A and B are shown apart, each in its own frame.
Chain A
Amino acid sequence: MSVAKEARQVHTKQSLPYERDFLLGLYERMMTIRQFEDGIKFLFLEGIMPGTIHQCQGQEATAVGVCANLRQNDFITSTFRGHGHALAKGLSMQELLDELFGASTGCCKGKGGSMHVGSMAKGMVPGIAIVGSGIPVAAGMALAFKMQRTDRVAACFFGDGAVAEGAFHEGVNMAAIWNLPAVFVCENNLYGASTHVSKVMRDTNIASRVASYGIRGRRVDGNDVLAVYEAAKEAVEQCRVESGPAFLELLTYRRTGHSRRDPCHYQPKQEREEWFAKDPIDRFANVLKAQGVVDDEDLEAITTRILQQFNEAVENAKRAPLPTPQDLTTDVYL
């Protein structure tokens, strides 16, 4: 390590209460998600990759900030917009890409696809692509952890749209009455598909609404990765000592369309510009630079390394073995 960098690390310890490696880890995971999502969008539009995609550019801080508090044997549930959650929970770009390419080396052997990525070894059940459906499921995972007398935690990611589903009410209520170790993470990106939250709820403060279940909801800047990390830390610790569930509403914004080729004409220009100015990766980069943790050169090196890994993974995915006819009827009883 250069003298200059050592000096920066000392400086970091004085100004931000985190290790430099930890901060760089957060940045690298967010940038990995961004590069992955930008890269596969191109592959999809070029017709190189099959299926459909729902992307999370702009929401990287929620996945990374929450999952940084979880152990490998803690579990998350995700949605159809789950690539970021998967990468944050420790799945590799390769096993995700292979899955997106429909290859038998994918994390679900090509049987799940983009909307159902997951890995039981890494602590993520396959994405549940029915809105709100993962909420009672996460409560059930938390119930198992409680019955097994472990201190494991289930974190449940869902969007603002899920709050209108009956499953939200039923799942959060049962987690509350049984004190389950579940962290409910509502990523409020202002839109359910193309519909703005203000059209579907009279009180758009989702965190305040969960007080009616007898639990405290916290509303957090979801584009500030350290704020997310701290709020999730408190939530996870609360669950580990049998004082769950916890509820976080993370305010964020989806930079891309709902899915596929959606051009987002329903997002007003001014709103987009305001949120783009609050981009979680740019903001965190500025914090790191202002604190002297990194310089532009360091960040450039991280991005270059991720891009190289991504490009290699793409080449591998293109050559990955595809499922055989026999695979059609395995992993299910007949």
Chain B
Amino acid sequence: MPKRMGIAEALRKAIAEEMQRDSKVFCIGEDIAVPGGWGGAFTVTLGLEKEFPDRMIDTPIAELGFFGIACGAAMMGMRPIVDVQYGDFLFVACDQIIDNIAKMRYMSGGQIIMPVVMRAPIGATGRGSQHAQSMERYFTGVPGLKVVTVSNAYDAKGILKSAVRDDNPVMIFEHKLLYGSKGARAESGAIDGTSDIPDDDYVVPLDKAAIRREGADVTILSWLLMLHYSCEAARRLAEENIDAEVIDVRSLSPIDYRTIGTSVRKTGRVVIVEEGPKTGSVSAEIAAGIMEQFGEYLRCPIRRVASPDVPVPFSPVLENLYRPDVSRIAATARQVMKDM
């Protein structure tokens, strides 16, 4: 029987199943397996230490160090799942992630596989500038690294399983407002990311976008929280007889230009929505890719909805101004419809 689950619960189930399936899989991170603790910052690993006491490793507060540990363990045949409490902390670990984890397979001439899964919560959520950044942009340009996002529980479970079984390093970005974390770790302003999770051992590929709403007039590309906002914007637009197609880009490296291209050929209009700042963003990369590959199908310029080029502010008033919302997405889609 399928069971309704949130993202945190679906990830937990995926991790447990992968650890049952393969004794090489283990979890490492801060506060992930403390009895009576939190199961990581957002309850994803809650209670797993009971079933896997030897494979749930709590670390010192040492992100650089434990990403290095994961790198070394992976080269010796293990398959680590590394947890950071907040995506922002990835900067501390970047030497290990970018210089070692992402490059070892290539610079060894293919002697090494690097099955490291890295999970990182992101998103502006009332915590000011340093527990809030949209980190995708910093990793999508790193050769060797796969970068994916999960916007619902079904994907979360299937993508985590694919990532664990992949011999390349995979960075999974998760959004704090979508986890469905419960109890003391629940987030205010959370959005429903639950899905019906089937019993079978399914996987979701790491290189495929997903069409969340079919439409003929304009293609809206987004991921994570912005995907949910884009779907809501599409509902509003439908009332105005604008038929938006909403695509969950989902895989940010590599980008699924096949799915995107099919949609662009159909609509000829593109809006890309991203939570982070506009300059140097993933949406800039996607826009360039669309121009190069499908430019002749565009009826009007690509438009982007993103945050201004400022750090994430704390005050709820400012944070809400900072983060793209349903109104801005809908307004931009209307503008594109007027452009041509």
Q: Which A residues contact B (CB, under 8 angstroms)?
A: 75, 77, 106-112, 116, 118-121, 125-126, 128, 130, 133, 135-145, 147-148, 154, 166-167, 169-171, 173-174, 177, 330-334
Contact = CB atoms under 8 A, between A and B. Distances in A.
In the A-B complex, the 6 residue pairs with the closest CB atoms: A140-B72, A136-B68, A170-B65, A109-B109, A144-B76, A331-B110
Contact of B72 (A119, A142, A173): A142
Contact of B106 (A106, A111, A140, A144): A111
A109 B72 contact: no
Nearest to A333: B168
A195 B108 CA distance: 31
B95 A143 contact: no
Contact of A118 (B70, B108, B144, B254): B108
Given A111-B106, A111-B109, A331-B105, A139 B69 contact: yes
A331 B144 CA distance: 9
A141 B73 contact: yes
Given A136-B64, A177-B60, A112 B109 contact: yes
Given A133-B96, A136-B66, A171-B68, A126 B60 contact: no
B73 A143 contact: yes
A62 to B, nearest CB: 21
A140 B254 contact: no
Contact of B99 (A130, A139, A154, A330): A130
Interface in B7-24: none
A107 B67 CA distance: 26
A142 B144 CA distance: 24
B71 A167 contact: no
Contacts of A116: 107-108
A141 B72 contact: yes
A138 B110 contact: no
Given A135-B68, A142-B72, A144-B76, A167 B95 contact: yes
Interface string B87-120: 0000000011001100011111111100000000
Contacts of B54: 147
Interface of B: 26, 54-55, 57, 59-60, 62, 64-78, 95-96, 99-100, 104-112, 143-144, 146, 168, 254
Contacts, number: 145
**A-side binding surface: helix, strand, loop or mixed?**
mixed
B43 to A, nearest CB: 25
Contacts of B96: 133, 136-137
A116 to B, nearest CB: 5
Nearest to B71: A137
B65 A144 contact: no
A174 B66 contact: yes
A156 to B, nearest CB: 9
Given A111-B107, A144-B73, A173 B65 contact: yes
B77 A144 contact: yes
B71 A148 contact: no
Nearest to A99: B109
B110 A171 contact: no
B99 A133 contact: yes
Nearest to A177: B60
Given A143-B72, A174-B59, A174-B66, 10 more contacts: A110-B109, A111-B107, A121-B111, A133-B68, A133-B100, A136-B67, A137-B100, A141-B73, A141-B75, A173-B62
Given A125-B112, A332-B144, A147 B78 contact: yes
Contacts of B109: 106-112, 331
Nearest to A334: B254
Given A173-B62, A333-B168, A126 B72 contact: no
20 contacts: A109-B110, A111-B108, A112-B107, A125-B112, A130-B95, A133-B68, A136-B67, A138-B72, A140-B72, A141-B72, A141-B76, A143-B57, A143-B69, A144-B72, A147-B55, A167-B65, A171-B65, A173-B62, A173-B65, A331-B109
A145 B112 CA distance: 17
Given A136-B96, A141-B73, A331-B110, A173 B68 contact: no
Residue from the set B60, B71, B100, B111 with the largest chain A CB neighbour count within 10 Å: B111
Given A126-B107, A170-B65, A174-B65, A120 B112 contact: yes
A332 to B, nearest CB: 5
A333 B146 contact: yes
A126 B69 contact: no
Residue from the set A137, A171, A334 with the largest chain B CB neighbour count within 10 Å: A137
Contact of A174 (B62, B105, B146): B62
Nearest to B59: A174
Nearest to B77: A144
A220 B208 CA distance: 56
Residue from the set A133, A138, A142 with the largest chain B CB neighbour count within 10 Å: A133
Given A120-B108, A167-B95, A174 B69 contact: yes
Contacts of B70: 140
A119 B64 CA distance: 25
B58 to A, nearest CB: 10
A126 B106 CA distance: 10
A182 to B, nearest CB: 9
A72 to B, nearest CB: 14
A231 to B, nearest CB: 23
Nearest to B54: A147
A136 B108 contact: no
A173 B61 CA distance: 11
Given A116-B107, A147-B55, A125 B75 contact: yes
B111 A119 contact: yes
B95 to A, nearest CB: 6
Given A140-B72, A145-B76, A174 B108 contact: no
Contact of B73 (A112, A128, A133, A140): A140
A332 B55 CA distance: 29
Given A125-B104, A144-B76, A174-B69, A133 B110 contact: no
A136 B60 contact: no
A124 to B, nearest CB: 10
Nearest to B99: A130
Given A120-B108, A139-B69, A174 B60 contact: yes
